[in-house]
Amino acid sequence: MSNTEKKQTRESSDEVAASIASGTRVTRSATKEKLSDEHMLKTAGQFNRIATIKTLIESLPLSHLEADIDEIICIKEAIDEIHKTFNKEHQYIETTWPSTFITHDYFTQNAQGEEIQCHIEAQSKIRKLCRELNVTPKTVNKVEETSVTEGRTKEINRLPDIPIPKFSGDYMAWPSFKDLFESLVLKSSKLSDVQKFHYLRSTLEGSAFKMISRLSLQNTSLNIAWKKLIDKFDSPRLAVNPHLQKMLKTTPSRKRSAIELDEMINYVGDIIEGLNLFEIQNPWEALGVHQIIKQQDEQTRTEWERSLGNSKTYPSFAQLRTYFAAQVTALENACGVEGKEQKPQGKLKPKGKLKVKAFHTNTREDTEKVPFNKTCQYCKKDHRPNLNPDITDVLIWIRKHQFLFSTDITKIYRQIKVHKDDWVLQRILWIDDKGNETPYYLTTVTYGMRAAPFLAVRTLLQLVEDEGKNYPLAVPCITQGRYVDDIFGGADTQQELIEIALQLKKLCNAGGFPLAKWHSTHEDTIIAINADRNQEAIITFDCDTPKILGLQWDSQRDQFTFATTLSADNEKTSKRTILSNIAKIFDPLGFLSPVVIKAKMLLQELWLHKIKWDDPIPQRLSTQWRAIKQDLLELNQITIPRWLNTRNGSSTELHGFSDASQLAMAAVIYLTVHNASEQQTILICSKTKVAPLKRLSIPRLELTAALLLSKLTQYIRNTLNMEITATHLWTDSRVALTWIRSHASRWKDIVRNRVTLIQELTSNYQWNYVPGKANPADCASRGLRANQLKDHPLWWTGPSWLHDPDSWPEQPTEADKQSEQEARPGISLAATISKPDYHWDLVHKHSQLPKLLRITAACIRFIAHAKPHEPSSPNLTICGSLESSRLFWIKALLRPTLESTAHVLNKPANSAAFN
């Protein structure tokens, strides 16, 4: 405070003291109006309260996954308390504030409006978090609810609150929404315009919300928003059409029924009552106008609507007749006096034109969901004629052999001729400068057409069928070791590899497919191919690092390598750039899963934050991405051996491991090879998945990871197609192991379904327990840094004790007690022991009941006719004998079970059995 202000304050204090001493009352008019220290402190306190509310809003978690309900309740209580204090202080400031200081920042910056906006923003975020958590905070503010319902009483036995329905732009729902909102909100004297506009925004969605979404939260926005809605939806001409369309969709009655007649009358009656709301005097006339306009072409309908202009009343039939009469006159004048279209005087048949038949079938619209992954909607399997094997199948197949070569078909599409009758479908018209047309025809399969890959591969497979018997060693290279036009071949000896390569070259030359870009683990194979060639071919000696279906392959060392090219460091970090960089990592076999899974987790968190594609990401996530990006750049230091070390006569075992954490699940498979001289374990592949957004318990996640491992193991066994002596699957969850080893019917649905699939897929495999520290899948479920992954023996070769079964971990002998939490409730059954009657074995010979009854009926009729001394029975008819046979078998099946009961009932009434 300045010296002048201090002096004025002292003078004012002296005046007040003097007046008190003299017994006079001090009023605002009696003293000179000056801004006191009290007012300055109160305004500063008000601004501090606004800043505190903003800080509390920023401290709210962005997602319900990070939210703590107790923390949310505390924040809400603090904001509500600050809001009450602010309103109390604001009321005092307005009452005592000097008029000469009305230009103070407190009023010019609209501090009260800013605080209200912050309070509404805080309430909206807190309610959204509570809705996602499916809970209600203990300190629910009920002031807003009671302020909306103006006419509600405060008695204990009051009427229930009237909820305001959501309005999304449906014309049929507008009248009820308008009346309800006007009566509950707009006509309420207890709400400010800002609060009314807030409630209006909260009740709108869809196209209706988009109309007012750009209006800021202030007093003037209410009238603007409500006027927009009135102009758009308060139009009977537009609102009547849905009612009339609904009437036209009435379906005929399928049978004569009082219920259907009553439903029909009520259905039409509701529509007519809805039309009466729009003051439609004659609904049937309106229906006729609607149907006539609907049957016209698009241009006529557009001109008719344009002729009505901005009229909000529904047009009458007289208006329609007047408009159509004018249109008839205009069309007659345009087409000639006779009103007939003039026909062409002659027909000129153009020369050189070719007619091409095209398929055209009558189709009807049907609202069926098409599977996005092109699988069968019944069995979820793929029935398409897939001529190309999966890329992972080929990568696993080429790891079986010690020696390998790769080659490529040169311009595969240009090597295939199209039948002459189909050339017209690939015709090109060339028009020169003089306008002369010259047709050209493509005689080979054209690259870029949808059918081109199928035609190329199908021709290659036909070549194998026609010439494969002459070159048997080359057939597996095309049927199993080929992906489109890339072909691979492998063998366990160098001489066999050369023979396979030569036969493959001859087989492809027989079909007119020249091979190029040869690479091999041994240069003798390349030399032999070069010496045998009759024409010039492209042969490389590892001048560049070759690739095997996208994976870099060092053919000299016979290793897979990785080279990652990411964006520059100065590029803006956003969700788009992060996804673009992660998509550059090509790892179909899952060698880099411990590093890639961390990138997947980051992507999931970005989606949870609902960040737009090009918006900056939070600082914490940006720091995580920089660490992951550095790891991705270090992946070029990792090498993986291609060969699985399988030889003829070696014994092989499969070992699969599964693990799960709160963030991810992983499954990894190793191949253990037992040779005469050594034993070795090598990583085959792995698969990871991020945990679902719906929170699951750790045992359930472990069971899901076990199912992932079961599917992966079945796939690897089918793809390797080699003799495997044993398959062992490992998990570090005792609960999941108990579920898998027990009968699936013991558990609840979510556990039972997964256990059933696991048991079906792994019926011939052995499930074992492994400690968490010795589980290599733990590396992929939690993630590793690139420098840790490079030399991580547990990940690349598995546990060291895999070679020696005597060193395997001790297996649990008792079921885990925690597994009983998923057990189904017990079912009590009454068991009875029956003694079968083997004298009648017809029931065991015939599985169909009608046939059994007919045979028994024939026997009954035969027995009745065979008794000469008894009178003829009335049940000798076919129907009667069938009924007798049915009762006979009911008694025969129940007699063993109820034998003791029947024995008691057959005794006299005074028997001791009834006492």
pLDDT confidence of residue 5: 45
19 — pLDDT class (breaks 50, 70, 90) = very low
- Smallest CA-to-CA distance from 617 within 649, 576, 648 is with 576
- Which pLDDT does position 470 carry in this prediction? 92
pLDDT band at 671 (very low <50, low <70, confident <90, very high): very high
Tens-digit pLDDT profile for residues 598-621? 999 999 999 888 888 888 889 999
Give the chain's end-to-end CA distance (angstroms, integer): 110
- pLDDT above 80: residue 236: no
Write down the pLDDT at residue 3: 46
Give the DSSP H/E element, type plus range, for residue 859. Answer: helix 849-866
What is the rounded distance in angstroms from the CA atom of residue 582 to the CA atom of residue 559?
23
Q: Residue 540: what pLDDT?
A: 43
Indicate the range of 65-74, 500-509, 545-554, 685-694 predicted with least confidence.
65-74
What is the average pLDDT across 739-749?
A: 86
Mean pLDDT of 838-854: 72
Cα distances (Å, whole numbers) of residue 339 to 331, 333, 335, 498 = 8, 7, 6, 85
Confidence of residue 463 (pLDDT cuts 50, 70, 90): very high
How do beta strands 766-769 and 726-731 pair? Answer: parallel
Residue 281 has pLDDT above 80, yes or no: no
Same fold, 391-417+447-561 and 638-822: no
What is the chain's mean pLDDT, rounded? 77
The residue among 446 and 3 whose pLDDT is bigger is 446
Q: Report the relative pairing of strands 651-660 and 726-731 from DSSP bridges.
A: parallel
The pLDDT value given to residue 876: 62
More confident residue, 345 or 864: 864
- Cα separation of 615 and 576, whole Å? 9
In this prediction, residues 764-775 reach a mean pLDDT of 92
Domain 638-822 bears CATH identifier 3.30.420.10: yes
525-535 mean pLDDT:
70
Q: What is the pLDDT of residue 20?
A: 35
| C-beta of residue 796 within 8 angstroms of C-beta of residue 683 | yes
pLDDT band at 13 (very low <50, low <70, confident <90, very high): very low
What's the chain's Rg over C-alpha atoms? Answer: 43
Q: What are phi and psi of 490, to 5 degrees?
A: -140, 155
Residue 780 reports pLDDT greater than 90? yes
Q: What per-residue confidence (pLDDT) applies to 30?
A: 36
What DSSP state is assigned to residue 773?
A: G
Whether residue 493 has pLDDT greater than 80: yes
pLDDT of residue 284: 66
Least confident piece of the model among 6-10, 57-61, 103-107, 397-401: 6-10
Q: How many CB atoms lie within 10 A of CB 355?
A: 6
37-46, 273-282, 328-337, 585-594: range with highest mean pLDDT:
585-594
What's this model's pTM, rounded to 2 decimal places? 0.52
Cα 360 to Cα 12, 357, 426, 471: the distances in Å are 98, 9, 20, 44
pLDDT in tens, 321-356: 777 777 777 776 665 544 444 555 444 455 455 555
191-224 confidence digits (pLDDT tens): 778 778 888 888 888 888 888 877 777 777 888 8
Number of H helices, E strands in the chain: 33, 15
Given a cut of 80, whether residue 266 has pLDDT beyond it is no
pLDDT in tens, 805-843: 888 888 887 777 777 777 767 654 444 454 545 445 666
Distances 433 to 187, 351, 436, 441 between C-alpha atoms, Å: 76, 21, 8, 20
Among the ranges given (128-137, 139-148, 427-436), the one the predictor scored with the smallest mean pLDDT: 139-148
CB 477 within 8 Å of CB 487:
yes
Nearest-angstrom CA–CA distance, 523 and 6 = 98
Q: How confident is the model at residue 91 (pLDDT cuts 50, 70, 90)?
A: confident
For the chain, the structural domain boundaries read 1-33, 35-141, 146-234, 237-334, 391-417+447-561, 638-822, 842-914
Q: Which pLDDT band holds residue 682 (cuts at 50, 70, 90)?
A: very high
Burial of 306 (0-12, 13-18, 19+ CB in 10 A): exposed
Which band of pLDDT confidence, cut at 50, 70 and 90, is reported for residue 47? Answer: confident
pLDDT at residue number 164: 74
The whole-number pLDDT of residue 22 equals 39
Q: Name which of 387-401, 555-569, 624-638, 670-684 the model is least confident about.
A: 555-569
What is the share, in percent, of the chain residues with pLDDT greater than 70?
Answer: 71
CATH tag, 391-417+447-561: 3.30.70.270
DSSP 403-453: EEEEEEETTGGGGSBPPGGGGGGGEEEEE-TT--EEEEE--BPPTTSTTHH
- How much is the pLDDT for 256? 65
Provide the pLDDT for residue 775: 93
Query: Which pLDDT belongs to residue 292?
Result: 75
Is the sign of the CA dihedral 393, 396, 399, 400 positive or negative?
A: negative
DSSP for 213-282 reads TTS-SSTTHHHHHHHHHHHHH--HHHHHHHHHHHHHTPPPPSS--HHHHHHHHHHHHHHHHHHHTTT-S-
